Structure 1
Amino acid sequence: MSVREIRVFGDPVLRERAQPVDPAAPATAALVQDLLDTVQLPGRAGVAACQIGVAKAAFSYLVDDELGYVLNPRIDEVRGEPQLVDEGCLSVPELGFPTPRHPFCRVIGEDLEGREVVLEGEGLMAQMLQHEMGHLDGRLYLQALDKETRSIAMAEVRKAAWY
């Protein structure tokens, strides 16, 4: 398949709630391959389907040299008080802001064969899971920022050359 272009802030697909995917559909296998190809570029931890223009419930990840994907995921558990972590997003290029994230997250979904997939972890894995699940809900991480930080972030977005 191929590395796909990342959609940026302002693209309507980023605000759509992802629709479930049929793991057995040939189009789903092609989507998964594109997600896997796209996440493997340097500096990427996760890519949601909406970021490549497809409003479907799927994302790929590459965290601590572990490459994978999940279809139709749902958050099963978050643990711990949210902590501020530096976060950025491929769909909001070149910017990053302290974002509240739970220190542990578990997501349950399925693979292309319909088998259950459980992804969980702390640190970058927990952050990535929460970030990608936000994308599948039609939200960017900017919406998780406190009011003052979000105001600063939006001013930076408006000044960005890509906006």
Structure 2
Amino acid sequence: MSIRNILIHPDPRLKKVTAPVASIDDDLRRLADDMLETMYDAPGIGLAAPQVGVMRRVIVMDCEKDAEATAQPMVLINPEVIWTSEETSVYEEGCLSIPEQYAEVQRPAGVEVSWTDLSGKLQRERFDGLWATCVQHEIDHLDGKLFIDYLGPLKRQMITRKMQKLKREMARG
């Protein structure tokens, strides 16, 4: 397992729609392990493959924030939202590809998602609360959408300019 570099917005790869995973192999399992390690190291609660430069439909997440509780890492391959609640909720979202920037985003409060797990079995689960927000946020990444795309143009431009400045500072090292 190794920690991968997380792409910082604006990066054209973060705006691309990813390709479905055709087969589950050792490379995919290694990617999932690396993504979980990268997410925990960041630290974050979710990470999508395009954020580490891999244009495939894979996300990882673990919204268990209680340090005393057992970690609940999840790997979702080809995830798809198949139901959304009419009720919505607003969470202050952040993103590992948009560090130190947060904004309130309104999304369905509950979702049902289908996906394939690492053993190749089809799974379905309903998520609510932070888990629902996280899974929707990560699936958006697979479709080339960032949480700032839900914001007004001024706020989105302000955050993008901050990220461009951050990337310039990082490049200077």
Q: What's the TM-score, normalizing by structure 2? A: 0.85
- For 1:102-141, list aligned pairs within 5 A: 102-141=108-147
Structure showing greater Rg? 2
Q: Is the 8 A contact 2:91 2:104 kept in 1?
A: yes
Do 1:23 and 1:112's aligned partners in 2 also have CA atoms closer than 8 Å? no
Q: Secondary structure at the match of 2:166?
A: coil
Structure 1 residue aligned with 2:93: 87
CA distance in 2, matches of 1:77, 1:95: 29
Aligned to 2:155: 152
Distance in 2 between residues matched to 1:9 and 1:24, nearest whole Å: 29
SS of residue matched to 2:44? coil
Q: Retained in 2: the 8 A contact 1:23–1:111?
A: no
Give 1:100 shift: 1.0
Cα distance in 2, alignment partners of residues 137 and 143 from structure 1: 12
- The sequence identity of aligned pairs, in percent, is 30
Q: How many residues are aligned here?
A: 160
Q: Conserved in 1, the CA contact under 8 Å of 2:14 and 2:144?
A: yes
Counterparts of residues 2-151 of structure 1 (less than 5 Å): 2-41=2-41, 43-64=43-64, 65-145=71-151, 147=152, 150-151=153-154
SS in 1 for 2:18: coil
Q: Note the C-alpha offset of 1:156.
A: 3.2
Q: Which amino acid aligns with 1:19?
A: A
Contact persistence 1:5–1:52 (CA under 8 A): yes
Q: Partner letter of residue 15 of structure 1?
A: K
Unaligned runs of 5+ in 1: none
SS at match of 1:60: strand
